[in-house]
Structure formats: C-alpha cells, structure tokens
Amino acid sequence: MAVQSVKGIQSQHVAACIKHFAANNQELNRDSVNTIVDERALREIYFPAFKAAIQQGNAYTIMSAYNKLNGYWCFENDLLLNKVLKNEWGFKGVVISDWAGTHHTVAAANNGLDIEMGQADRGENLLDFDWWQFK
C-alpha cells in the first residue's frame, strides 16, 4: 500500500510525505518515549514499508517520528536519517520534522534533518525567519 499511495499522491503533482520514521509504535507519550528495537526487528518489521515507499514509490519527503529510537531522537538520529535513509536507501528528498518535534536544532541539522517545522525558542535557531510575514 505504501508504494501505491505515494505514486497516487505524486501523480497529482503533490509531494507525498511518508511518516513517522521510525518505530512510532504508540501514541501515548510518543514525544518522550525511548523505543528500544534491535537491528533485525528494525529491518524486518519497521523499515520495509518506508524502504519501499522511498525506493519503489520515489517519495519526495519523509517525516521523522517524535520518539527516541535506541536512545536518540528520531529527528537527530544519524543511523536513521544519514546511514540508512540517505546513504543505504539513496533517499534524495527532504526530511521534515513533525510540528515542534525537534529537541536540538543543531544536532538535528547535523544528523540529517532538512526542515524543522516549528519549535520552542531554545536559542539555537539556524535561521531566524518569520513565516507569517508572507500572509
């Protein structure tokens, strides 16, 4: 379903955004939970639909999950975003945070996040930009 959904959405000249990458397996406390998953389970259970949506569906965007995965926030997880997604799977699109989901802007940018959607003022903005000036 993931591949066909992406292809259908993008056939209408709209970028599909697949989410929430990865191991987003609970709603309660999803913004604070540390999901512990071994590599085999990641590759056999959690990754296949994402991998197919990227490699077969050619999804333009992907959104990271709020949770931590094995001790690292998904928005700033080098293994997820750089090593697996971009290097291993060859993703050339844009990695987006969920709204106000990042915890460390610089760490997220250094570990594969491309666009941070909203955030609390943590004093570590990469660019001070007021989106609302374009109303």
Residue with tokens 């666009």: 115
Angle between helices 2-10 and 48-55 (to 10 degrees): 30
Does the CA dihedral 17-18-21-26 come out positive or negative?
positive
Q: Beta strand 72-73 with 68-69: parallel, antiparallel or unpaired?
A: antiparallel
Q: Is the pTM of this model over 0.75?
A: yes
Q: Per-residue confidence at 84, pLDDT binned at 50, 70, 90?
A: very high
**Domain extents in the chain:** 2-134
Among 86, 77, 96, residue whose Cα is nearest residue 15: 96
The per-residue pLDDT for range 4-59, each reduced to its tens digit, is 999 999 999 999 999 999 999 888 998 899 999 999 999 999 999 999 999 999 99
As a whole number of angstroms, the distance between CA 99 and CA 119 comes to 7
The yes-or-no answer on residue 98 being catalytic is yes
Q: Per-residue confidence at 124, pLDDT binned at 50, 70, 90?
A: low
Catalytic pick from 98, 121, 128, 130? Answer: 98
As a whole number of angstroms, the distance between CA 10 and CA 56 comes to 13
What fold characterizes domain 2-134?
Answer: TIM Barrel (3.20.20)
DSSP-based helix, strand, coil % in the chain, nearest 5: 35, 15, 50
Q: Per-residue confidence at 61, pLDDT binned at 50, 70, 90?
A: very high
